[in-house]
Chain A
């Protein structure tokens, strides 16, 4: 396991190095001028990146906590579907989700029409709404995984000790959620810090510019690899300490109870708590599902370009499936190593997994492209690069779900397996797959969703012969075919939901 973890670890570093080094090298050719980097524009961009990402994270997480708690407490018809649909915002390309959000909160959206007000969300408000839309469901689901692992005895004990909802929250639910916060918050922060299309489209103007936008500008519009690599370094310098810090916080909390089946709850139930939970649920569902419903309504009467959609669907399935597999293959040994290693190792590995997330895709793509040229531009490389990039982008999600689950399983089964001489594939098949089916299913679903919704890698490497569903949607939008794009977006949403549901059914 140690060997495969090192392999996986090195692969990540190689992939990132292969992206960064050539860009830095070209930059040296052009000459570096630090004075050109640290101008007022730079500091404004950095400030804005931190402010919007911090606020987005705070709101997403604060919203996710009551939602996760309610979902853990309540059984209701359609709960399974709700959970699966919670992975859907991740699978939507930003532009599709943005149009859904605008349909609800925009100046001519449902809310504006309902209240006869002309809401103006363009600015920080719009960015926050969109980022919470993308990340709250993700955060809630990750918290829910942890809440579902609360030991049955804890419920019994709390029932016997007469815990009300308050004490139950204080002694059982909150400590469980608190453990997940560093990991979830850093993930959400990075997602928001790297946000590009959302920030620009809903931000109202260039005052809403993230580092990611500045890097894109430097690399793609100015073709200035020197500036791009300096900005990338700034992004690394900004994000890595944060990641290391949260990883340190996560490393201190290592006392999760054993993996178990879901426990029976004895939550004290009052009319008020039922009402409150119902309210929380209603708000959360409305927030997440209204934009999705708007998408469905927009798409339902659309002219579907079936032949293009079918082709894009196959390509999407193939690329996202490949990225999911590769991502899990990379995550599995890392999660195992982190579960059994020292806290320092755990920290190192989780930071490495996030690196690929911090280095902007445009930089990675440029570096990889330069190397591919040096290697004689081997044919059919593009799909492979899309898969690798998506796998790297999905890795932190898979890892943050898998690591805690694997470490619990390790604590419980390692000695037994060692005693039985159970290792390698046999252990995987007999112990890990069945025991870890739920977290693995969620990790697979998340990785798949991220890859399916990707518009970054496919824009960088795609071509007319390599078109995924998001690329098709964007291309249709780019040629006036907004109706057809709405139809394709609907297909993408239904398709993603179906795949996520299938991935999560596997257990």
Chain B
């Protein structure tokens, strides 16, 4: 019975026709990057048209799971490229010793911070932002301070920094603005928080259902509603202290047998063939020039007055302590 089952499974999930002659480039990434509406399929087509190779995506739940997978696989990993970590994870990722320098020219790069990481190369970025419903909230907070001190009846849904990237983003944002007073600020903000969800999807779902007029998301979120739904109802609030940045990066595995191909892919990453897919498929800002101007909606988005970002080393070293501080402040 088991054997039959196994055979059935093997048959049902047998890989697509193999292209054994061509070299295969295995890229680990997060799942939504390679979903049918993500950038993955288009990038694959564009790169395969020039490289004479075959890209094999391995979609893993999210950036954190991606890193854990690498830690578990160690030297035996099948990945040639890992795409989808962010700067909160790169210090830990580099510490695994699995990665090699990207060796790519960073001149085309347009990320809003100076970039000196020799290992990881950005491919897109975005800012965390409080997105609000203009039909409910006429007077959105203009700063993190206004959010913290504002009317506790105007609720916000946030994500848990223990399980979600935006959740960690807000934690770092608060830390960047309030420093040692972050715990106090969290205690003040607490009555405004409707609930803390495990992931972005739950929070955004509650927000669009009308449970709260604000949600923690990205400055690019309104672009989706403008482009795909043709509505300006949901907008990001511009905060005077600046916005915390998320930079998504890729890196290549040192022991990869396809090192040259991997380098080629990283270089390709900063060309329009890759970058063109980012705005309307990943709903982030491209990290280099695109062949056409950004969609009109992107021009209407909040432009942060200041970019906030901790160094990867600082995040790696303090994350646990800061999360404990958050827990203590929030669970009181």
Contacts and interface: CB of A to CB of B under 8 A. Distances in A.
A and B touch in the complex (CB under 8 A): yes
Interface of A: 41, 44, 95, 98-99, 102-103, 106-108, 122, 126, 196-197, 200-207, 209, 213, 216-217, 219-223, 308, 318, 322, 325-326, 329, 366, 369-370, 373, 377, 379-380, 382-384, 387, 459-460, 462-466, 474-475, 477-482, 485
| Nearest 5 pairs of A and B residues by beta carbon | A108-B210, A477-B201, A464-B59, A207-B331, A217-B162
B103 interface: no
B202 A475 contact: no
B228 A480 contact: yes
A268 to B, nearest CB: 47
B224 A480 contact: yes
Interface size class of B (residues with CB under 8 A): 35 or more
B97 to A, nearest CB: 15
Contact of B327 (A196, A201, A206): A206
Given A222-B320, A373-B76, A380-B10, A478 B163 contact: no
A325 B2 CA distance: 10
A426 B60 CA distance: 46
B71 interface: yes
A228 B85 CA distance: 23
B61 A206 contact: no
Contact of A223 (B32, B68, B160): B68
Given A99-B205, A223-B67, A206 B330 contact: yes
Interface of B: 1, 5-6, 8-10, 12-15, 31-32, 34-38, 40, 57-61, 64-65, 67-69, 71-73, 76, 78, 92, 155, 160, 162-163, 190, 193-202, 204-206, 208-212, 221, 224-225, 228, 283, 320, 324, 326-327, 330-332
Contact of A206 (B35, B160, B199): B160
Contacts of B6: 384
Contacts of B205: 95, 99, 477, 482, 485
A479 B40 CA distance: 14
A481 B208 CA distance: 11
Contacts of B10: 379-380
10 contacts: A95-B201, A99-B206, A200-B202, A203-B195, A204-B195, A205-B330, A207-B331, A217-B162, A480-B225, A482-B205
Nearest to A214: B162
B72 A221 contact: no
Contacts of B72: 366, 369-370, 373
Given A325-B5, A380-B13, A197 B198 contact: yes
A202 B68 CA distance: 28
Contacts of A383: 9, 12-13
Given A95-B205, A326-B5, A480-B228, A207 B330 contact: yes
A377 B74 CA distance: 13
A106 B331 contact: no
B283 A480 contact: yes
A34 to B, nearest CB: 18
Contacts of B196: 200, 203-206
A329 B71 contact: no
B242 to A, nearest CB: 25
A479 B37 contact: yes
B285 to A, nearest CB: 16
A126 B194 CA distance: 12
A220 B64 contact: yes
B328 to A, nearest CB: 8
A102 B59 contact: no
A477 B37 CA distance: 12
Contact of A481 (B37, B163, B210): B37
B73 A373 contact: yes
Contact of B201 (A203, A205, A220, A474): A474
A102 B35 CA distance: 28
A463 B31 contact: yes
Contact of A221 (B64, B190, B194, B224): B64
A205 B195 contact: yes
A479 B37 CA distance: 8
Contacts of B162: 206, 213, 216-217, 221
B202 A197 contact: yes
A325 B8 CA distance: 14
A460 B201 CA distance: 17
B277 to A, nearest CB: 14
A380 B9 contact: yes
Contacts of B210: 106-108
Contact of A478 (B32, B58, B193): B32
Contact of A475 (B31, B68, B92): B31
A44 B92 CA distance: 29
Contacts of A106: 206, 209-211
A217 B9 CA distance: 32
B318 to A, nearest CB: 13
Contacts of A102: 206, 209, 211
Nearest to A474: B201
B1 to A, nearest CB: 7
Contacts of B31: 462-464, 475
A377 B283 CA distance: 34
A103 B202 CA distance: 13
Given A99-B209, A466-B13, A478 B201 contact: yes
Contacts of A480: 204, 221, 224-225, 228, 283
A44 B9 contact: no
Nearest to B69: A369
Identify which of A201, A216, A326 gathers the most chain B CB atoms within 10 Å of its CB: A201
Contacts of B155: 107
A340 to B, nearest CB: 23
Contact of B193 (A126, A205, A322): A205
Contacts of A98: 202
Identify which of B206, B210, B330 gathers the most chain A CB atoms within 10 Å of its CB: B206
Given A200-B160, A206-B330, 5 more contacts: A205-B195, A373-B73, A384-B5, A460-B61, A464-B40
A149 B67 CA distance: 53
B104 to A, nearest CB: 26
A107 to B, nearest CB: 5
A217 B209 contact: no
A206 B326 contact: yes
A475 B195 contact: no
Contacts of A369: 69, 72
Identify which of A98, A219, A460, A464 gathers the most chain B CB atoms within 10 Å of its CB: A464
B224 to A, nearest CB: 5
A250 to B, nearest CB: 30
Nearest to B9: A383
Contacts of B224: 480
Contacts of B199: 478
A480 B32 CA distance: 11
Contacts of A387: 5, 9
Contacts of A329: 1
A466 B57 CA distance: 13
Contacts of A209: 331
Nearest to A118: B153
A365 B244 CA distance: 33
B195 A122 contact: yes
Nearest to B68: A223
